[in-house]
Structures are given as C-alpha cells and as structure tokens.
Amino acid sequence: MTTAPHTTAPRTPRPRPLGPAQATWLVARREMSMRLRSKAFLISTGILMLAILASIIVGGILGATASTTKVATVAGTASVTAEVPGLEVTEAASADAAEELVRSGEVDAAILPAGTSSTSTTGALPYEIVALDSTPTTLVQLLSTSPEVVLLEPTDDGDGFLSYIIGIAFGVVFFMSAVTFGATIAQSVVEEKQTRVVEILLSTISARELMAGKVVGNSILAFGQIALIALISALGLTITGQSALLGMLGPAILWFVVFFVFGFVLIAALFAATAALVSRQEDVGSVTSPVMMLVMIPYFLVIFFNSNEAVMGVMSYVPFSAPIGMPLRLFLGDASWWEPLLSLVILLATTVVVVLIGSRIYSNSLLRTGSRVKLLDALKG
C-alpha cells in the first residue's frame, strides 16, 4: 500500500508593514473622507461661502449706489473737479468759507490752493484737500493724483473703520476654522479611545502616525476652505468693481494664508494632545478650553485694539495671534518687509516644538482609559 506524498500548502505572504508616510496618509485620507461625507460639514461650508460672497456683493452695490461725495472749491481750484465724476461741487467765496462748510458738515471736504490752511505744509501739487477729522479716501481715489491731505481736527483713527472690518474678517476666518476643525479632531480622538478602536489602530500604526494623520487630514480640509474663501472674496470684489480694494488686500490675504498654514497645525496639535488626556466626550470641553482661549484671545484683541499699534505689534509676533496681527499690519502698511519673515520663523519654530511635545502627550495618554490623565504624567510617560 502506497501513501500519497505529503504536500505543504503555499504560505500566504505577510503584508509589508506601512511606512510612516504611508500610515500618516492613510489616516489623513480616512479623516478627510469622513468629513466630506458629512452633510452637516458640506452644508455649513456652502452657507459660509454664500454668506461671504453675498456680503461682498451687497457691500459693493451699496457703495456704488451711495450718494456722491460733497466737496467745496474756490475760484482757484474749480478746474480740479471739472471732469471728475461722482462729486457734488459747491463753490465757496473764499478759503475760510470753504473751511466753514467742512466744519458744519455741509460738505465732506474742501479743495483749496496749496498752503491756504494754517496747518498745511508745502506739497508737490498746487492744491490740497481739507477735511475735518479723517482722510476722505473716496475723494482721494477719485482724483487722478494724490494731493496733500490736511485735517482740521486730526485723530488717530485714520482709516480705522476699514482696518476694523479687515481685522474682524481675518479674526473670524481664523477663529471659525480653528475651532471647527480643532473640535473635530478632539472629538475623533476621544471617540476612538471610548470605543477602544484606538487599540486596533495602534496594532498597525504608531500613535505618532495616528496623530499626524489626524492633523494632516483636517489641516488639508481647513486649507482648502481658506483657499475657497480667498478665491470667492477675489471673485466678489472683481464682480462688484472693487479691484482697487482687491489690489490693496492681495498681499495681506496671501500672507494670511501662509500664516494660517502653520498656525492651524499648531492649534490642531494642541487639540489632539489635550483630547487624549480624557476618555469621555463629556470631558472634552474641560481639557480643550485652554486651547480654545488661545484662539479666542486674538479675536477679541483685534476687535478692541485694532488701532493700537503697540498691541498689534505684539500680536504679530506671538505665534497664536500672528496669523491675524501680521496680515493686518501689512494691510495698514505698519510692518517692514522683514517683519513677516521674522514672525513666520518664530511661528514655525513654535509649531515644531508644540508638535513634538504634543505627540509625546498623545502617545503616553492614548491607551490610558478611565479617569483623566494628568499632564505631568503624560509628559513623563
């Protein structure tokens, strides 16, 4: 009796382990896919974009249909406004009478021969604009040249309203993006701990790769949202004929996008690290509240101190407020060419340090369930 020869079944090759870059990108794709499949996220993003476009278009329409600029002239400057559209001209008998019209509010400004006002200086043009307490920007833009502007009652506001609006816009965009995506990262971290999914994930990839993937995925979505906002803003300003304002805002917007890239990574790493300290969704707010304050403080500072050069100067170098402070200073022309570069270096160095410390906290806390992990224990491991 013969026996069949013993055969060995072919071995199934073991899958090759994922590299750090592959593991990070795998988690990042998972995070982006989950967010893009969320109807709430898509609807809220669409509403935000429509609101921004509508506000720009409505502002442009209101600006285009606003009343004409009222100016006073004298015999020597009547020819200056002869062919300038959008002006309602009142000819005064003398320079003193024209200044009185400005003080009484009957006209927005007066165009007088250069050197007429007692507070004026020698200018390059034969005429000057006399206003009450702020520069009549619209009138200056309507004139083909830039005459000297003399303020009868000068204040520190200048173009304060425009800088206030621009500062609020930068603050709102950074605040909303950081809070929205930061909260998403925190909830995702705690959910994976609470359901023990993280134990399965850590059998394949490391904790640092998991954290990096969450930060990268949500950062890409946030960057995409910011890019859409910038594109829609430029489109709205172009449609409404506000190309001049777009030209003024262009460099500031570009710098805002650059600062936002690193500023958001800094905030996202903090949200992920602090959320890893707890195991219940109910405790997320308590551990992430310090990070939330770091995002909110610059927003309120730009509301109350946007015209304070000292405060804005400090804000432009503090990493958590630099994405708001530095672009606003660049828009106002208060920053030298080297200042955004120095501020960016400080922000980049801070981001690297925070990411390294945050990844240590995240790695040492991720598998600890139950009560809240103390920060010092997470740092010690």
Q: What is the pLDDT of residues 319-374, one digit of tens each?
A: 989 999 899 888 888 888 899 999 999 999 999 999 999 999 999 888 888 788 88
Q: How far is it, in rounded angstroms, from Cα 20 to Cα 1?
A: 57
List, for residues 263-313, the tens digit of each pLDDT value. 999 999 999 999 999 988 888 888 999 999 988 888 888 878 877 888 889
**Three-state DSSP state, 13:** coil
pLDDT (0 to 100) of residue 52:
82
List, for residues 182-203, the tens digit of each pLDDT value. 988 999 999 988 888 888 888 8
Beta bridge partners of 127: 113
- The separation between CA 276 and the C-alpha centre of its own chain, rounded to angstroms, equals 27
Percent of the chain surpassing pLDDT 70: 86
Q: In which band, very low, low, confident or very high, does the pLDDT at 3 lie, cut at 50, 70 and 90?
A: low
pLDDT (0 to 100) of residue 48:
82
pLDDT (0 to 100) of residue 352:
94
Q: In whole numbers, what is the pLDDT of the chain averaged over residues?
A: 83
Q: Which of 79-83, 161-165, 362-366 has the lowest mean pLDDT?
A: 161-165
**Across 79-105, average pLDDT:** 84
Asked if 294 contacts 270 with a C-beta cutoff of 8 angstroms, the reply is: yes
DSSP state letters, 175-191: HHHHHHHHHHHHHHHHH
Asked if 215 contacts 269 with a C-beta cutoff of 8 angstroms, the reply is: yes
pLDDT (0 to 100) of residue 199:
85
For residue 269, what is the enclosing H or E element? helix 243-275
Position 294, amino acid: L
Residue 314 has pLDDT above 70, yes or no: yes
Tokens of 27: 């988690």
**Across 43-60, average pLDDT:** 82
Q: What domains are there in the chain, each with its CATH number?
A: 69-151 (3.40.190), 160-380 (no CATH)
pLDDT (0 to 100) of residue 158:
45
Q: In which band, very low, low, confident or very high, does the pLDDT at 154 lie, cut at 50, 70 and 90?
A: low
DSSP state letters, 177-227: HHHHHHHHHHHHHHHHHHTTHHHHHTTTS-HHHHHHHHHHHHHHHHHHHHH
List, for residues 224-235, the tens digit of each pLDDT value. 988 888 888 888
List, for residues 129-146, the tens digit of each pLDDT value. 888 887 787 787 777 655
Asked if 153 contacts 133 with a C-beta cutoff of 8 angstroms, the reply is: yes
Residue 124 has pLDDT above 70, yes or no: no
pLDDT (0 to 100) of residue 65:
55
In 106-192, the DSSP E strands lie at 109-113, 127-131, 148-151
Q: Is 311 left (phi over 0), alpha (psi -120 to 50) or beta?
A: alpha
Q: How far is it, in rounded angstroms, from Cα 61 to Cα 65?
A: 6
- Provide the whole-model pTM: 0.71
Percent of the chain surpassing pLDDT 90: 23
Residue 174 has pLDDT above 70, yes or no: yes
